[in-house]
Each structure stands twice: as C-alpha cells, then as structure tokens.
Amino acid sequence: MTYEARHAVAVNYALTAACLALSILGFAVAGVIPTQSGAYPLVGWAIVGACFGAALVFLLRTRDRAVQARVDAAGVYARRYGETVPWARIDSLLVLRAGIQRIARFTLTDGGKTLGINTSFYDHGISELLAAVRSHRPDLA
C-alpha cells in the first residue's frame, strides 16, 4: 500500500476566504480610514496586510499539487525533509494529536533525529498514513 498526500484544495480555499474575511477587521475595528473615534490606521493596514499575506500563502497551496508526503516500500518521504528515509533508518513512530492537528513523528536511528508529517491539512489523513506504515513496517504501528 502506498500513501501519497497533497495539500487539500478545499481546506486551503476555505482558509483563504477566512483570511480575506478577517481582513475586514482591519477596516472595521482598527480603522483604516481615520475618523474622530480614535481609530489607528497604521494598525488597520497592518491587519489587512497580514491577512492578505496569509491568504496568498493558502491560495498558493491550492495550486501546489506536488506530493507533500509519501509512505511506500522504499520508506517515508516528506517534502520538507527533502529525501526518502529508508525503513532501515526508522526506529519508531509516535502519533501526536493536539486539537485538530494529527502528526506522525518518526524517530530515526541516527542520533535521535525525527521526521514529522502533519496530515491535518492534506487530502489524506493520519488513518491512511498509519495503514501504509502497517503494510510496510507492522512493528511500528
């Protein structure tokens, strides 16, 4: 069994929309347009800029269809790590759950280094990742 995960398009579109909606906060609360109510336009523009910047990041993720994580017969690949780690270099697996975050943390044999895969915003979740690990290294899962 092979696990391949990419950025979840629908989730990233929703996060983009949420950031754009949140930028209204810069206009409404902090006051981009100065009034006599004591608004701070600099704070308002900072909020708008930060929200638009975050929206751009999420929008770019919707266009990135590259594989972000893979678990197959060769080992474990995470795009952030940059290479496939062979099964022989993997010592253990720990699944971390914090809120909506689901992270698979692989401990490597070389000096206690770890490789983490956060499946929270991928198109395939932690259960599929664990199923792939079980099919290749049942001693880990």
CA 65, 66, 68, 70 dihedral sign is positive
Residue pair 31/46 in contact by the 8 Å Cβ criterion: no
| pTM of the shown model | 0.80
Average pLDDT of 33-54?
77
Which whole-number Å values give the CA distances from 113 to 55, 75, 109, 110, in the listed order? Answer: 33, 16, 7, 6
**Predicted confidence band at 46 (pLDDT cuts at 50, 70, 90)?**
confident
SS3 116: strand
Domain residues of the chain, as ranges? 3-63, 69-136
- What does the alpha-carbon distance between residue 27 and residue 100 come to, in Å, rounded to a whole number? 30
Amino acid in the structure at residue 30: A
